[in-house]
Structure 1
Amino acid sequence: MTEQNSVAAQEEQSSQFSLQRIYVKDLSFEAPKSPEIFREDWSPAVELDLNTRQRALEGDFFEVVLTLTVTVRTGEEVAFIAEVQQAGIFLIQGLDAPSQNHALGAFCPSILFPYARETLDSLVVRGSFPALMLAPVNFDALYAQELQRMQAGAEVQA
């Protein structure tokens, strides 16, 4: 029994997750109808598009990029489009494939989201619009939905 505990403890010690760097990879803001849009009634409709991607770097390092694209309309007019690609470099060692995929697909984007949200808010305010104050996102739920979608797609192809 102690041997099993010892093996489990060694496996736990050999796995490692650490954040190496967080940075803005790309940033964009467009207000095509300014300054006229500032004179109209402000009744915004907010559309949020969220994407993540990851790629292996050297060794056990991975880059994860969270892209948030916000399109705000007032009526038929686009008030502004703001996009940020918030990225991070993560060291991930000793995890099995499913755990590593979960870390890259859910845990890392959860770490990046507050930075992306703050960057978007700052960008929008600099464009003279009210801050967005985006609600938190449950990346675990989104990751689980994506896994189900991929499994359903694989079953349809089979």
Structure 2
Amino acid sequence: MADENTNGAGGAANAEQPQAQFNVQKIYVKDVSFEAPNTPASFNEQAQPQLALNLNQKVNKVADDQFEVVLTLTLDCKVEDKSIYLVELQQAGLFVLKGFDARNLDMMLGSYCPNMLFPYGRQMISDLIQAGGFPPFLLQPINFDQLYADQLRRRAEAQAQGDQAQQPPAGNA
């Protein structure tokens, strides 16, 4: 009963706005590299390894409503200055996004799609490390929503600084 329209205005408004559609067409590994330059000596290292994770993402528009999102994960493991292993992975996905306004499209591509790709990348990195003869390693979850919010904040700050730089100095009329 709650979804009945008494005056028909709600139905007309819904008919005018296109329904947003999201489809995953394909998830794939675009590029992968595993290096363990100091094996077999590195298998005997007893010191605590230092891990550095670098994360990046890129969006490529393939067609009108089709986007490729590439999540790049680089994991560097060292003991002192010796490289134990280096994993570089580009986990990608092909997504169709129709009917999204600019703000929501940006959010989907900047947060939702990387969130979908990360578990695949995390598994691939874990498998590569283990196949390289090292103990299993599982990347901790990443909060892509927070990373996206931080990116929006940085964009707003940069835009505000850019707007201030274009302002003429006061008193020079």
Q: TM-score, normalised by structure 1?
A: 0.93
Residue ranges of structure 2 left out of the alignment (5+ in a row): 1-6, 164-173
SS in 2 for 1:136: coil
Q: After TM superposition, what 4+ stretches of structure 1 lie above 4 angstroms from structure 2?
A: none
Q: Determine whether 1:109 maps to 2:114.
A: yes
Number of the residue aligned with 1:72: 77
Number of the residue aligned with 1:46: 51
Number of the residue aligned with 2:105: 100
**Aligned partners of 1:6 and 1:127: how far apart in 2?**
60
1:78-89 alignment, distance < 5 Å: 78-89=83-94
1:7-156 alignment, distance < 5 Å: 7-8=13-14, 11=17, 14-156=19-161
- The CA RMSD measured in Å over matched residues stands at 1.5
**Aligned partners of 2:47 and 2:132: how far apart in 1?**
15
Residue ranges of structure 1 left out of the alignment (5+ in a row): none
**Aligned partners of 2:64 and 2:155: how far apart in 1?**
28
Structure with max Cα Rg: 2
Q: Determine whether 1:3 maps to 2:9.
A: yes
**Aligned partners of 1:82 and 1:67: how far apart in 2?**
10
**Aligned partners of 1:60 and 1:86: how far apart in 2?**
20
Between the aligned residues of both structures, percent identity stands at 39
Number of the residue aligned with 2:3: none
Do the aligned partners of residues 26 and 37 (structure 1) sit closer, same or farther apart at CA in structure 2, a change above 3 Å counting? same
Q: CA deviation at 1:16?
A: 0.3
Do the aligned partners of residues 50 and 9 (structure 1) sit closer, same or farther apart at CA in structure 2, a change above 3 Å counting? farther
What residue identity is the alignment partner of 2:63? E
Q: Deviations over 1:77-107 (max 9, x none)?
A: 1111101100000010000000000000000
**Aligned partners of 1:129 and 1:10: how far apart in 2?**
57
Say which structure is richer in helix.
1
**Aligned partners of 1:114 and 1:95: how far apart in 2?**
25
What residue identity is the alignment partner of 1:77? K
Give the paired residue count: 157
